[in-house]
Structure 1
């Protein structure tokens, strides 16, 4: 079989040759070690049989121990394991190549990226069955109990497809079939004549199925997938950055917004609060919480994001009902016409942008109005905690953690107590624009009204050090006394670190 220029028979023969060579490596190891040992014995003291340290290590290793006893960890004895692993990988990929040929024979488009995937070989019948069941949803009578059981059956089939199988299905399915499936799984309302039926899929199950589909398809199908499942890409046209051309608080502007995939990696040197730089979206309440969490538990955030083999990115979030899930998204981000990011970003690293994008996707399902990036602009910082950690946030200035009954009582001692106990603490400024001009000069442009900050620490004399989620570059942390806090800041919130 020759498929796309790859000859399966010749590749199989090559894998067999590698397997034979692997079996001979132990004898070669012994022979070479014997020659080097003999040479060493006949050389004057202080001279080595070889100038190569790897070969010199073979002296005396005439009867090498097997690798599982700690031996043969160097060439040529180690070739047994290395060549064995290589030929095993080749044989798996040859099977995948044969599965790709079967898909093509059944009339499925096969992406080049699917040909040598290191996964189970594609099963054309599984794709046939899943596609047929997807198409049969059109015009189906779901009975008196709703459509959830039918949808769970289909989603179970989809979850079980390999990447090559999933890509073939999405390639062959019509946009109408995919869009109708999205319509069914997204609508969980009861029918008018039976209030007890079950329809659609709960958000966490829906997100798992759709995210699994997106994480497996080839990049060539991203556009088709997003058109059928628009909820997988957050809206950007309802933001101030789109409507007003920028962020009127920090003065950043853009000359037009479009989607573009960054070339920066997720991480450069782990996670730090200093990586978080809010740009043109007005979601400081979320970004301040993200920066505060990055300061308190960077490992938690780093473990909560991953890049999939097809380039998509998955971020761990919790939904409004406290359900844990991974939100999977395409790698493109909102940028201006010059390709500069307008979303929350790091210094040469992109992880904050994907956390923000995942939040815009998940929060759009909150049922409180707008969707996407516009839906996360302007809210209470404590509302971000359940999405970041699955834990509820609390108001420190209305009797929560501090036991204080009056909103005006904003004790820095109480903030410090919460911060020292391990909580992420955020504070907000009032919507009083007069304070933008009437604040301590040393704060510079770091201070802004109607804005959220996160606590970075405290001075020895009890003052609080606040970080601006706009980033430390150009907006250094400010130190605030109790008197200043009472005048220039309003509420304070906190949430537990996982």
Structure 2
């Protein structure tokens, strides 16, 4: 029968035959080329040794050279590299199958998806040790010295496991042991006896370890993992969209908000600022920056997100020290009763939603530990830059609103200079609801107070073109003169696009 439909012995024999064929392909190439070359030399001028153009190309190619010396390798000599790569890949995967078969014999749960992983064969001893150390945590008296050393040892041990090893570990570990480990990881309070002890793991190290683990576990174990480590899922229950049933600014509403996977892929036709549509969460300051970055450097944005084999998604996010991390999350998104995502989304593609979800997982304002989607509602666009690029943003205008109808002058030239130099530029409107009623009619419902926008360009006569992160389909860009900017807009910020 074999293991999960695979007969390792027969596959090994096949790999051996491919190896032999790879070794002989060079000899066959030389022999065939020699025959054709001799035939060509004995034929009258103008006649070819073969009517097949591929065989005719072998004339004179008695000693096949690698492609970096000449034109691309020809058959049959080129089969040496191709068959060699194929058989070496087969041998790796055979060792993987044999290792998984041994795990199953020892009572470890083995996912079907682990069979297809191209990685180092699993080692049962490593899983044994990890489970034993996890269990040992329950019997330790950490005292006033803290538990960080023990937790760093175990997290490092788990980080070093292959995907198959980690999946067997998660599948075998009792849920209560995993939950206990999570409680230790997240409890960073000092004891009353020793205020200098180290407990738990810092948020960034904890996030790195859990993200790596979540990216490796099989789809069958994702639910068990997220139940044990709930911090890998940001809450939406602290948002206005959840508490009030929608976004009062753009008028979008929802019922039955819950987690659900989207029906659209990460990308449909690449990255564009026009893909970014902020919906019901009040994080325009971040979404405007994301849209501006997508406009200036779409390749950078696309490189910063990836879908893992188990269906989870990882997004590149920088921390306050300028170090980037891959933040991994489940594929589900906050959705309404019909399964429609209520957060930032694209036009037939979901990548903006995962950028927003990753940000909700890691962002917290200075002095505020609130995280989740509620933690990213209402802030300064300048603060989003370090998380998107690892670089600080800068103020472009020092002017501010002095009162209704009163303002300091803010030159559009500084915005244009920053924009033309490659920077992402965002602007904000004041929290003055009177301006919602008294703004130029041609702006329609695109203009709103207490909101953020991103610069899309400039007209020939020096006016700025602003995009609303609510999306271009329902809220087309508006053109703003210097006089209008002074009256209806406040601060402006910029940051470098990598």
Q: TM-score, normalised by structure 2?
A: 0.91
1:445 is aligned to 445
Partner-residue secondary structure (3-state), 2:137: coil
Instruction: Check conservation: 1:22, 1:81, Cα contact below 8 A.
Output: yes
C-alpha distance in structure 1 between counterparts of 2:353 and 2:236, whole Å? 14
Q: CA deviation at 1:122?
A: 0.2
Partner-residue secondary structure (3-state), 1:427: strand
1:104 and 2:104 equivalent?
yes
C-alpha distance in structure 2 between counterparts of 1:468 and 1:71, whole Å? 52
C-alpha distance in structure 2 between counterparts of 1:142 and 1:180, whole Å? 14
2:175 is aligned to 175
1:384 is aligned to 384
C-alpha distance in structure 2 between counterparts of 1:409 and 1:63, whole Å? 76
**In 2 relative to 1, CA 475–365 (structure 1 residues): closer, same or farther, beyond 3 Å?**
closer
How big is each residue's C-alpha offset from its partner over 1:283-317, in whole Å with a ceiling of 9 and x where there is no partner?
A: 11110011112223333322322222323221111
1:212 and 2:212 equivalent?
yes
1:403 is aligned to none
1:258 and 2:258 equivalent?
yes
Instruction: Check conservation: 2:399, 2:490, Cα contact below 8 A.
Output: no
How big is each residue's C-alpha offset from its partner over 1:430-486, in whole Å with a ceiling of 9 and x where there is no partner?
A: 233332232212112211222110112222322211111112222221111122112
1:50 is aligned to 51
Number of residue pairs matched? 492
Instruction: Check conservation: 1:96, 1:119, Cα contact below 8 A.
Output: yes
Instruction: Check conservation: 1:398, 1:407, Cα contact below 8 A.
Output: no
C-alpha distance in structure 2 between counterparts of 1:334 and 1:55, whole Å? 60
C-alpha distance in structure 1 between counterparts of 2:263 and 2:391, whole Å? 33
RMSD: 2.6
Aligned counterparts, 1:232-251, within 5 A? 232-251=232-251
Gaps of 5+ in 1: 401-405
C-alpha distance in structure 2 between counterparts of 1:340 and 1:50, whole Å? 61
Instruction: Check conservation: 2:465, 2:477, Cα contact below 8 A.
Output: yes
Deviates more, 1:89-98 or 1:39-48: 39-48
Q: CA deviation at 1:42?
A: 4.7
Instruction: Check conservation: 1:273, 1:291, Cα contact below 8 A.
Output: yes
Partner-residue secondary structure (3-state), 1:192: coil
Q: CA deviation at 1:161?
A: 0.3
Gaps of 5+ in 2: 401-405
**In 2 relative to 1, CA 49–254 (structure 1 residues): closer, same or farther, beyond 3 Å?**
farther
**In 2 relative to 1, CA 48–408 (structure 1 residues): closer, same or farther, beyond 3 Å?**
farther
Q: CA deviation at 1:321?
A: 5.2
Deviates more, 1:174-183 or 1:164-173: 174-183
Q: CA deviation at 1:371?
A: 2.8
1:426 is aligned to 426
Q: CA deviation at 1:269?
A: 3.9
1:28 and 2:28 equivalent?
yes
C-alpha distance in structure 2 between counterparts of 1:325 and 1:361, whole Å? 12
C-alpha distance in structure 2 between counterparts of 1:238 and 1:54, whole Å? 68
2:331 is aligned to 331
How big is each residue's C-alpha offset from its partner over 1:161-204, in whole Å with a ceiling of 9 and x where there is no partner?
A: 00000000011111111111111112222111101111111222
Partner-residue secondary structure (3-state), 1:288: helix
**In 2 relative to 1, CA 397–66 (structure 1 residues): closer, same or farther, beyond 3 Å?**
closer
